[in-house]
Amino acid sequence: MGSKPQTDVLRPSGQKALLIDGKKVAEGVLAEVAEGAATLTAKGVKPGLAVVLVGENPASQVYVRSKGKAAQSCGFHSVQHDLPATTSEADLIALVDRLNADPAVHGILVQLPLPPAIQATRVLERVSPRKDVDGFHPFNAGLLSVGDLDRALVPCTPAGSMLLLEKAAAALGVEISGADAVVVGRSNIVGKPMAQLLLSRNATVTVAHSRSRDLKGIVRRADIVVAAVGRPEMVRGDWIKEGAIVIDVGINRVPGDGFDAQGKPKTRLVGDVEFAAASAHAGAITPVPGGVGPMTIAMLMANTLRAAQLSLR
């Protein structure tokens, strides 16, 4: 999936590294999903996505609204369940059970974080693996682990990162197969599934993290660097091998310069990679913002369409 390669990867004036435009790639994914949804709907199956929000976390509310708008733009049946923060775990699981049984719903997304009184693991594992469009259920994690990508629903951020990597590799004329890849970060949501996706493409994969000895040396030998450790600019620019592809998953808010109109200190977004310095060495790199970020919702829509397609098997 994705838009035409020449619009996905750009070389800004005066910059060595190609810039991987996640917004453009995401637009291409959404266009293809909308086309696929229209085809499926014409056959009598309209893809359906249900999003469950518990509590009033402002960031979660923004994410959920964005997901709902994307679902509607793709022509999905879209429903949202807003529950109070006082909702019990039993009531939330009962809602998940109803959505599991609803034939009009092909994808279920329970927005995280959940209130402290609710064990997220229990809720996420209650979602039917066939409707687990976040790709968090142990069943889907297992399918990914054994390389069964035909049946697995892959977590959205790693799936989007992999697509950006493929675009960059094609633009540079390099092969992912056989490349030395380093994933900095070992989370179940990004790091581990990203490593599995790279293995499925025959890369030689090292999973590093904040406690790795000689992290600089590990990163420096990599042809592909995926940074998903959650620390601002932890991966320094001079660690990057000449010509490497850098996929920066991190989104960190740090102090900016000056004050805004309300007199509050300004902030800015940075990734897990020291972008400016890394750009002097990398062959291609994702910016923050505008790189991996837009891909997550796009791949959620792609997973929902895929779940609807798999429901016909």
Whether residues 57 and 100 fall in one domain: yes
Question: CATH no. for residue 174?
Answer: 3.40.50.720
Strand partners, 270: 252
Whether residues 105 and 185 fall in one domain: no
Whether residues 122 and 159 fall in one domain: no
Does some domain include residue 248? yes
Whether 67 is catalytic: yes
DSSP character at residue 282: -
Q: Which one of 8, 134, 248, 272 is the catalytic residue?
A: 134
Question: CATH no. for residue 118?
Answer: 3.40.50.10860
Secondary structure E strands in 14-136: 18-20, 48-54, 77-83, 107-110
Determine the structural domain holding residue 186 and report its residue range. Answer: 155-293
Q: Which one of 8, 21, 111, 192 is the catalytic residue?
A: 111
Residues 6+ apart with CB under 8 A from 115: 54, 55, 85, 86, 87
Whether 4 is catalytic: no
Tens digit of each residue's pLDDT, the chain (313 residues): 443 444 577 666 556 899 999 999 999 999 999 999 999 999 999 999 999 999 998 889 998 999 999 999 999 999 999 999 999 999 999 999 999 999 999 999 999 999 999 999 999 999 999 999 999 999 999 999 999 999 999 999 999 999 999 999 999 999 999 999 999 999 999 999 999 999 999 999 999 998 999 999 999 999 999 999 999 999 999 999 999 999 999 999 999 888 888 888 888 999 999 999 999 999 999 999 999 999 999 999 999 999 999 998 8
Q: Which one of 24, 67, 167, 192 is the catalytic residue?
A: 67
Whether 111 is catalytic: yes
CA distances from 86 to 81, 90, 108, 113, 167 (A): 14, 12, 21, 14, 45
pTM: 0.92
Strands 48-54 and 107-110: parallel
